Amino acid sequence: MAEPSGTGDFAALAPDAVMDCAERVAGRRASGVCRPLASYVNRVFEIGLEDGGFLVAKFYRPGRWTRAALQDEHDFLRELAAAEISVVAPLADAAGQTLHAENGIFFAVFPRLGGRPCDEPSRAEWLQIGRLIGRIHQVGAARPAAHRLELGPQASARTHLDFLRDSGVLPPEVAGRYLDAAQRLLDRIAPLFADVARQRLHGDLHRMNLLWRPDEGFRAIDFDDLANGPAIQDLWMLLPDRLPAARPEFERLLEGYETFAEYDDAQTRLIEPLRALRYLHYAAWCARQRADEGRRLLHPEWGTADFWRRELADLQRQADTIAAGI
């Protein structure tokens, strides 16, 4: 199989081609049902099968990940599934491969498993979510993701900031102030990450990436942003508020987590610095979507001077919050 060049075009994903891809991997015939599902970055389709049931075909955005980086994600998911942890692992074809390519676009096929998004967890559900994350981290700690970014001010954040600087997306009237504020913020928080243990993480574990099923509880989905980083990264985004307001929920989450994995209390101080890194991640993510016509129609303000002024103000407020807590 030729290595996709990263120049594949989502427009080429006609329903017949999508169903053919799913059939080749799963070895089952499609019924003719091919429905697009919501996805911010990739193209995802639900495929009906002649023998009943459904599959999900996921086509990864060209140029965003290398083959090796996607294989890291698939390997982690298969390790988690082998440990009977509630995730959705990609299906393997007859040759045992989970990652495939079609017209320059990487894709994978998954079983379709329903569920509802996590709303407001009860006390028992906070414990259950914590246990799920603890089990994920127990497996993740075995080895790093060799081809994934390291979350922190010296690695992933620098990558995002370099992209924003070099891509020309920042309007001239905002660029200097935004880049200066971001650089000063990264310099301030860098010492906090110096001796922090890092491991494989989900990386983007907010409530929309947890599905609840009555027969099995919570399931973690969407490991696209798999990374190496501090354990707290997979905990803080689930909280309903900042600390100390969300302290009761945080303590219940940790109670469940520590059933399976040890938590270093010193990592709690990284929550607000990680929130700042999230702002940079979001800004770079928006900038990378600017070429997507559908995204521009949905969010016409992206990339405007006003958009970047708001991003700058958010970054400055977060820097003040961090300074007050150091």
* Alpha carbons 69 and 158: distance in angstroms, whole number: 18
> Strand, coil or helix: what is 106?
strand
Q: Residue 84 carries which DSSP code?
A: T
Check if the beta carbon of residue 16 is closer than 8 Å to that of residue 117: no
> Strand, coil or helix: what is 86?
coil
* Alpha carbons 323 and 269: distance in angstroms, whole number: 12
User: One of 72, 75, 222, 225 is an active-site residue; which one?
Assistant: 222
Nearest-CA neighbor of 281 among 195, 182, 209?
A: 182
State the amino acid at position 210 in one-letter form: L
**Is 204 noted as a catalytic residue in this protein?**
yes
The string of DSSP letters for 222-274 reads --TT-EEE-TTHHHHTTSSS-TTTTHHHHHHHHHHHTTTS---GGGGGGHHHH
The string of DSSP letters for 113-161 reads ---EE--S--HHHHHHHHHHHHHHHHHHTTS--TTSPBPSTTTHHHHHH
Contacts for 25 with CB less than 8 Å, ≥ 6 apart: 91, 92, 93, 100, 108, 109
Cα 250 → chain centroid: 21
User: One of 16, 119, 195, 204 is an active-site residue; which one?
Assistant: 204
Catalytic residues, by residue number, are: 204, 222
